[in-house]
Structure 1
Amino acid sequence: MAAVLGVVMVLFLGACGTRVAGRDGSATDASTAGGPIPWTMAGPISVTGARLGDDHRTLLLDAQVPHGPHACVRGLRAVVTDTVPQHTWVQITYSSPSGDRRSGCTGVTTATARVRLPEPLGARDLIVDNHTVFTADGAHPPALRLCGPLGCRPPATGCTPASYEQALMAVDAPAHTYREAEVCHGKWLVLDFTWRTGPACGGGEAPECSSRLGDRWFFRAEPSGWVPIVHGTRGGCQDVRREEPGFPTAMCVHLAPFRIAR
């Protein structure tokens, strides 16, 4: 009888599994989940905002971090890594189990990291985690202004190559796009561009390298840069005047249908 009871107890305990406490105090079922979930060092998913305290040295940074039904972030901190006359660099780190989906940390929330600068930010641009840049130039205090892909001081709209590059970025043109033609006057722009398809050819002229796609876009100048109006391949003004009646007829009436140059 004792032997039978012993076998039953072994089976019962085996079915219960083993509960393992995680380092954050939560428990993980090691028998079904493959062991405890590790916490690892990580950086923010993105940094969406920055603002200065009244002393112009206390910096508050809004960082997107993992979120879930249990603890997903601990040890959130920001540190100054370097300062030069033009820039101040700050790095944000935290620990999280989000690298393992068993943690449930699959959502996103905003957390605020605080750091005190060694001296007032002044006219320096703030670089967070090497790629997100903020500036006080043109900002609305206490917030700093988030700079765009063209930097904190993008070229003004105008009939210049630098502004045409901004227009291409505004329509998410593919990398290595070629500008085929521009019609530009004041606050209006027509831009034809193409991009190569197929294998990478290193600029060669072999037949397999000549396959291209392309588009024609119409733009209006705004304080933020060139703003897309509409795109199309037909000649004349029909495409753009339907969306923007104020677009100058003289800039589009003589446009031929868009053709990809070979």
Structure 2
Amino acid sequence: MPRFVKPVLWTIGVLAAGGLAFWLLLALNIPYQSTAAPETTPGTTSATTPVPPPVPPPAPPAERTAWIADVRPGPDDHSAVLHVTLPTCAEGAHTQVTETGTRIDAGVLFRVRPDPDCQEFPADFPIRTAAPIGKRMVVVNSTESWGLRSGGWKKCDWAVNCDPPPDHCDPAWIGQLEFSAEAEFPGTTRACDQNWLIHDLQRHSGQRPTRVAYRWAGNGWSSVGGATGGGCAEILSTEPKFPTALCKDLAPPG
């Protein structure tokens, strides 16, 4: 057999086998599926849904300050008791104390929980200081001063503090009466003894001074009359007991 006949026969056999295999696929109805690239929509990309940030817990209610009605003795010289009024819906009530060598600031703080029927009730809160209280002022309600003196705790005057000066003509007592008179500027004391006082008040800028006569009332000066002129006539018309030695030589206010 010539040499070129064998390759030709081999090729024909391979083609015949392939055709037979294709015919069998058609005869058996075997589904044919091609592998195709997944469909994509032009112009779109996959996106990850953002995770929302965690929600912070609600802030606690702001603290409030209880009104202190009284300061009472404690069991020793380092302690006192604050008598306050609290709402029944108060929670977390506690004392706050700061102290220096001359004063002690004390208070009672609390928070309020929602309650449609919140009433008020009295309560006592003991406080304790690092050093003995002694004669230091205890300041409550921001501006009220209390002092421990013989006989117990007493509420002190803002002008003369807890130890009033024995001299009734002291500037501290004069400052007290000027504050009560709502004077904007310091006035001028014209005459003073321990029981009687003449003081020219300067209530407002640009106005003439107002002359006022006072009598000592035990815890401060109490006005008994006024005058627009000099001398004693106007003062004696409202207070005949006023000593003329204090007013007879006075010129009119101005």
TM over 0.5: yes
Letter in 2 for 1:40: A
The answer to whether structure 1 residue 122 and structure 2 residue 134 are counterparts is yes
- Is the CA contact 1:230–1:243 (under 8 Å) kept in the aligned structure 2? yes
State the Cα distance separating 1:189 from its structure 2 match: 0.8
The answer to whether structure 1 residue 156 and structure 2 residue 166 are counterparts is yes
- Alignment correspondent of 1:226: 221
In structure 2, list runs of 5 or more residues that go unmatched. Answer: 1-59
State the Cα distance separating 1:190 from its structure 2 match: 0.3
- Alignment correspondent of 2:175: 165
- Alignment correspondent of 2:63: 41
**Within 5 Å, which residues of 2 pair with 1:70-219?**
71=88, 73-80=90-97, 82-96=98-112, 111-118=122-129, 120-128=132-140, 130-138=142-150, 140-141=151-152, 144-150=153-159, 151-169=161-179, 171-175=180-184, 177-197=185-205, 211-212=206-207, 214-219=209-214
Deviates more, 1:229-238 or 1:185-194: 229-238
Structure with higher Rg: it is: 2
Q: Secondary structure at the match of 2:149?
A: coil
Q: What RMSD, in angstroms, separates the aligned Cα atoms of the two structures?
A: 3.6
Letter in 1 for 2:64: A
Distance 1:251 1:242, change over 3 A: same
Once residues 128 and 113 of structure 2 are traced to their aligned partners in structure 1, the CA distance between those partners, rounded to angstroms, is 30
In structure 1, list runs of 5 or more residues that go unmatched. Answer: 1-37, 198-210
Deviates more, 1:182-191 or 1:228-237: 228-237
Q: Secondary structure at the match of 1:40?
A: coil
Aligned-pair identity in percent equals: 22
Q: Secondary structure at the match of 2:63?
A: strand
Distance 1:122 1:254, change over 3 A: closer
The answer to whether structure 1 residue 51 and structure 2 residue 86 are counterparts is no
Q: How many residues matched? A: 193
